[in-house]
Structure 1
Amino acid sequence: MTKKRIISFESGRLIALLAIITLHSQVFMKSPLIFGEPVIGMILNQASRFAVPLFFIIAGYFYYPKLVKSDSKEDVFWQYTRPLLMMWLSWSIIFLLIPFNFTTLLNDGYWAERTNYWSSLLANPLNSLFEGGLVHLWYIPALICAVGIITLLHAFKVEAILLPIALILFVYGCAAGSYVPVTDMEAPIFTRNGPFFSTLLVALGYEIHRRKLTLDSKQSIILAFSGFALFLLEANYLYFFANGAFYHDFLLGTPLWAIGIFLFLQGKPDFGEKLKASTISNDLLGVYLCHLLVVIYFFNIVFMLGVNPILSSLLAVPCAFFISLLVVKGLRKLPFGQLLVR
């Protein structure tokens, strides 16, 4: 029996993936400048930060029925995580071996180009372990950490402490991450990685399904905009008043923002029907895994050709998405394709 797709969630995943590619492509971050700042690029960068949190919530939402319908919680966990681990390891090996910087490669050779990269990873080996061969792969270990904690608590029938534990991890992640200029706290790894943020977001999706929580569209939109407004207020406070960074992956407003979007999608199951996202649903994780390499190569070529930054920004997202999609579809036809894509 084929699994029924919820159109709005598939559309949300597609939009979130495009937002991630926009973020990694640094669209309009060099030009145009308004009052000396790439204002359009800055807005796009900040507005894209809902994407990975939404992925986590959707993952938790669909993990719940898998877990409760099985007598063996351990089997569910391994069935869910084994292909993820396999893809994480396979792509990590590829990213460790394939050169990124064409200029260094042409001038100094393969070994020099790779040695520079390997040295940067070895400078913080524990953090690199929670990421993998390229920075965006952090999503998979973080997701596995989250579902591992949820599975363990469910197996011991102590789900009541799931949200408190997840909230503690999230607050610590903020305190030892973006809020370091305020708290002076330190963490052994970059807190975006591992269980710090992912656990709460996956748990929220899990609990929404478990408790059958819903909101109407208007309430969902208000919640989402409130979370986004809080996120922007935090980012501006940290940058202008605490000497922190301007760009952040997760802040205290992130869960509210992502929950609002998720609940809107849940309440509008036909949202985005014209996008036909379900036709490429199985390819989206593969596109996520390979897209950053495509973006890196795209900008290597753009730099070598001296392409106008506005033109390159306009081309980056569609080029990265469609080339990545072709790569994924090509990998499916290879004998070892199951190691790289689902």
Structure 2
Amino acid sequence: MKRINSVDFMRVVAIIFVIAIHTNPFLPNAFDNSQGNIYLFGLINQLARFAVPFFFVISGYFYSVKINKSNSIESTTKKMALRIAIIWIFWNLIYLFPFYKFYSLLDAGVLEMGNNVLERISYYISHPKILLLEGTSIHLWFLSSLFFSILTTSIFIKFNLNKSLITIAIFLYIIGVLAKAYINTPLGINLHFDTRNSLFLGLIFFVSGYKIASFTPKTKWLKIGFVIFILGLFFHFLEIFILKKYYNTSGNQDYVFATYFMGLGIAIISLSNQNFFNIPFFNYVGQKTLGIYAIHVLLIPILKPFFIKYYHPIFEIGFPIIIYFISLVFVEVLSRNRMLSQILT
């Protein structure tokens, strides 16, 4: 399949923003807890929320392209879902080791490390729903949600229930928002689990990507996508402001209603395939995004103590980029192994 340079470019941008979500730039801390830090943290954290929806939309888009190319829903679904499942299993096994406690376990010794891993295995055996929907690390929910989005979409299109699929995707997204960001409002619903997981967030974006693939990309999509993104960004922050001011809701939300348009807008921009997106470096490293997504959470707690020792405000911006490039090096080296390349690229 011919690669779209602008999609690879936006993959690089999006994964850096995902890393920023996990590294929390300008999170108020012992070095600086000023009001400026609070605002910068909130701005970056919420601006970055377009990234994961973008990845879902693009996945749905290429899923549709592959179906049209192979002319087989079953074979495309089986191949794509099986690959996601293998990657999900592999990284869940890797993240059974609690890297977030890396240095304390290193000091404690091998026996304590082994006990900690066994405790985590026991925990996930006792909580299979958490393992299935979220995984052994905070970011692996994306793979699980993508897997279920692929299966759900395939079933509906197999039986020519496209309208029902769209209706269900919209319904799940609304319920997901009301049970998460809007839980403190009069419309709030308490479902007693995180509706970021499963199909509540992922399905509507995946289905949107699937439907977008029925149109021929045009250069004017750049302007269309930009307008959609800017409107989504404005209303996203407006929702966050209202929820925080009037309903005492955290300003750190995974998604609200307008987040949909942020993710959709960036995806449409990425599909415009404008010439200025054609940058060889981005074209190459964009292909490594899945591996970087999988491995970066492992590196953050290991590397952060070294950098925070020499804290400087520039570190807040630089650290996500440093994590990106170190993750890229790991993926580049490890993917030279034929078996690992299937997991990382």
The answer to whether residue 200 in structure 2 is matched with residue 196 in structure 1 is yes
Which whole-Å CA distance do the structure 2 matches of 1:96 and 1:339 have between them? 20
Which residue type is aligned with residue 86 of structure 2? Answer: M
- 1:144-293 correspondence runs (5 A): 144-182=147-185, 183-187=187-191, 189-212=193-216, 216-274=221-279, 276-293=281-298
Tell me the residue number matched to 2:343: 340
| 2:3 corresponds to which of 2, 5, 10 | 5
Deviation at 1:314, TM superposition (A): 4.0
SS of the aligned residue for 2:337 comes to coil
Percent identical among aligned pairs is: 24
Deviation at 1:89, TM superposition (A): 0.6
Which residue type is aligned with residue 97 of structure 1? Answer: F
1:132–1:138 CA contact under 8 A, matched in 2:
yes
Which whole-Å CA distance do the structure 1 matches of 2:190 and 2:253 have between them? 17
Tell me the residue number matched to 1:15: 13
Which whole-Å CA distance do the structure 2 matches of 1:246 and 1:160 have between them? 34
Tell me the residue number matched to 2:132: 129
What do the CA deviations read for 1:106-165 (whole angstroms, capped 9, x no partner)? 554425654676687678541332121211011111111112111111111111222111
Deviation at 1:102, TM superposition (A): 3.5
Deviation at 1:243, TM superposition (A): 1.9
Deviation at 1:188, TM superposition (A): 5.2
Which residue type is aligned with residue 130 of structure 2? Answer: N
1:54–1:258 CA contact under 8 A, matched in 2:
yes
1:6–1:269 CA contact under 8 A, matched in 2:
no
Tell me the residue number matched to 2:67: 67
Structure 1 window deviating more from structure 2 (332-341 vs 119-128): it is 119-128
Which residue type is aligned with residue 23 of structure 1? Answer: I
Which whole-Å CA distance do the structure 2 matches of 1:328 and 1:159 have between them? 38
Deviation at 1:220, TM superposition (A): 2.8
CA gap 1:42/1:217 in 2 versus in 1, 3 angstroms = same
When the two structures are superposed, what TM-score results if normalisation uses the length of structure 1?
Answer: 0.89
Structure 1 window deviating more from structure 2 (205-214 vs 165-174): it is 205-214
Which residue type is aligned with residue 258 of structure 2? Answer: G
Which residue type is aligned with residue 260 of structure 1? Answer: G
CA gap 1:272/1:116 in 2 versus in 1, 3 angstroms = farther
Structure 1 window deviating more from structure 2 (306-315 vs 85-94): it is 306-315
Which whole-Å CA distance do the structure 2 matches of 1:84 and 1:128 have between them? 15
1:67–1:151 CA contact under 8 A, matched in 2:
no
Which whole-Å CA distance do the structure 1 matches of 2:8 and 2:318 have between them? 24
Which whole-Å CA distance do the structure 2 matches of 1:188 and 1:140 have between them? 22
When the two structures are superposed, what TM-score results if normalisation uses the length of structure 2?
Answer: 0.88
Which residue type is aligned with residue 64 of structure 1? Answer: S
1:7–1:271 CA contact under 8 A, matched in 2:
no
Number of matched pairs = 338
Tell me the residue number matched to 2:27: 29
What do the CA deviations read for 1:248-305 (whole angstroms, capped 9, x no partner)? 11110011122222222323432432363221233110011001111121124445xx
Which residue type is aligned with residue 3 of structure 2? Answer: R
Deviation at 1:323, TM superposition (A): 1.4
Which whole-Å CA distance do the structure 1 matches of 2:99 and 2:215 have between them? 48
CA gap 1:331/1:192 in 2 versus in 1, 3 angstroms = same
The answer to whether residue 300 in structure 2 is matched with residue 295 in structure 1 is yes
SS of the aligned residue for 1:97 comes to coil
Tell me the residue number matched to 1:329: 332
Which whole-Å CA distance do the structure 2 matches of 1:64 and 1:32 have between them? 47
CA gap 1:120/1:102 in 2 versus in 1, 3 angstroms = same
2:144–2:198 CA contact under 8 A, matched in 1:
yes
Which residue type is aligned with residue 193 of structure 1? Answer: N
Cα RMSD (Å)? 2.5
CA gap 1:121/1:248 in 2 versus in 1, 3 angstroms = farther
Which whole-Å CA distance do the structure 1 matches of 2:197 and 2:90 have between them? 19
**Gaps spanning 5+ residues in structure 1: where?**
none
Deviation at 1:318, TM superposition (A): 2.6
Which whole-Å CA distance do the structure 2 matches of 1:339 and 1:263 have between them? 28
Which whole-Å CA distance do the structure 1 matches of 2:273 and 2:288 have between them? 23
Which whole-Å CA distance do the structure 2 matches of 1:61 and 1:240 have between them? 37
Which residue type is aligned with residue 24 of structure 2? Answer: Q
**Gaps spanning 5+ residues in structure 2: where?**
none
